[in-house]
Structure 1
């Protein structure tokens, strides 16, 4: 895994920092997500009914399933900050579900660092422009601005920050 230092982060704003490996979203994953979230809408879990009654020609993954995969995609593809003691999700802005993810599709995340700023003595807030691509599709599954907080020991804060 690549590593960077806190002092490097500001210089990376505007740059693509990582692209994850492909993740296969199969019907089993969709069904497990439906069980975990209690969202058993037929367009997700009933292939026959979804083929007959939905505009998608079959089942599709929950948008929130695709969104939730960002954690794994991020962990695998974004450089680790050496001084980081913990990472925290702060939230999302402008989440858009652009195209449905059908069972058997492969998706991957693309992360561009859009902003970073220090908050308090031991926190760095980062914003990523995120796109989840569907293999062999022109439109992405989703786009979002993902805001995270990197916690670190205040003694490690760069002097000029």
Structure 2
């Protein structure tokens, strides 16, 4: 048995539901969403952010992107910026971006494995004598590397 308040609630819900008009492509949007590979909710939000804003801070005007930086002195080496998905076997990662760019010496053992979620998994050998490890980065994250065979 439905009381008077239940009847009023039912009538109001019906009235509000009658004002909803589905979009002509609503079913296509639902099907496209179902067909997408399952990703964490925060990864879907990242897709909405323009790619240029994925870095922690904007680059200064006039900053050259991916150009070799010549080091002076005994440790003369070439450091370039390369997306995590593009590092090569033999490259040496020189800074850990996930830990405030602390200096590291990680030799990449093989090309990174990029997951469906956009994560680049990198196997490395720590050149400071610590055992080998695995690091994972957003595949678009720029890493500082000493390239194998010179800057390219």
Above 0.5 in TM-score? no
Structure possessing the higher relative contact order (Cα contacts under 8 Å, 6 or more residues apart):
1
**TM value normalised by structure 2:** 0.24
**TM value normalised by structure 1:** 0.23
